[in-house]
Amino acid sequence: MQLKLTTWNINSVRLRIDLVAKFIKAVRPDILCLQETKCPDDAFPRKRFKRLGYEHVALNGQKGYHGVVVLSRLPFESFNIQSFCGKTDCRHVSAVFGDRAGLRDPIIVHNFYVPAGGDIPDPAVNAKFAHKLAFLDEMRDAPTLRPARSDRAILVGDLNVAPLEHDVWSHKQMLRVVSHTPVECEKFSAALGAGGWIDSMRALTPEPEKLYTWWSYRAADWRAADRGRRLDHVWTSDALADRVSGIAIAKNYRGAERPSDHVPVTATLEL
């Protein structure tokens, strides 16, 4: 059985629903994890997604900010929402796929939107950056994010950290820029390691090759400048690591009309 899973920070699902529909028709992922849906649950465009083939929806949304959703062609057994840092700010949802999806051994899919952290990389003067660091620490310590060696788990989303030297356009110039500061990268790596997760994107495309999933709106010509960052990630538990046969970064969607600043990342698993 082949399973295709896409993660995409869509930066308003209602504003970009036509762009999402175009992508779905072209790629047809089995599971679609969106972040920054910016939409309360009762206003989510369920009917449009149902027409597109996604009848199964695990939502955690709010008005105007944040929000995550797992959309699936396959039925899931259950879904769950976790809160971090004592806030109910809609940054996580997970879904368990099992017998109903035709899977003998269940798979849990976690979808995250980690805080961006603001502009100043100093937690003493920037509460947003302090929140981000605390969030990463809680991810590191969360028992639910420590799959056993035999557990089949996937963690995806906009984790808002470009952890490696070649995940940014200039390592030297980005060291003091939020998303690539040493403290963020260290905490990101600690969360990855504590859960025994595999960075599947880098397992398939090792450094020094550059990998980007985000390009700033501020660039006059984002394609020519190509000052990207890898902020969107696909982690797999050890039991699934060798099942990932490919990961595709759909860079062309950054050039769409009224695009998100992130692009879709699709992992293909052979189960």
Alpha-carbon span 95 to 79, nearest angstrom? 4
Range of the domain at 230: 2-270
pLDDT band for 75, please (50, 70, 90 cuts).
very high
pLDDT recorded at residue 127: 98
Total of domains in the chain: 1
CATH number of the domain at 77, please.
3.60.10.10
* pLDDT reading at 179 higher than 90: yes
pLDDT band for 129, please (50, 70, 90 cuts).
very high
pLDDT recorded at residue 79: 97
Mean pLDDT, rounded, for 225-242: 98
CB environment 148-175: b (16+ within 10 A), e (fewer): eeebbbbbbbbbbbbbbbbbbbeeeebe
* pLDDT reading at 220 higher than 90: no
The 10s digit of each residue's pLDDT in 17-56 is 999 999 999 999 999 999 999 999 999 999 999 999 999 9
Nearest in space to 70 (alpha carbons), one of 145, 79, 231? 79
Mean pLDDT, rounded, for 118-125: 98
**Tokens encoding 138:** 């809680």
pTM of the model: 0.98
Alpha-carbon span 213 to 231, nearest angstrom? 6
Burial, 184: exposed, middle or buried (Cβ in 10 Å; 0-12, 13-18, 19+)? Answer: buried
Q: What is the DSSP letter of 84?
A: B
pLDDT recorded at residue 36: 98
Q: What is the DSSP letter of 109?
A: E
**pLDDT-above-90 percentage for the chain:** 99
pLDDT recorded at residue 243: 97
**pLDDT-above-70 percentage for the chain:** 100
Is 219 or 141 the better-scoring residue by pLDDT?
141
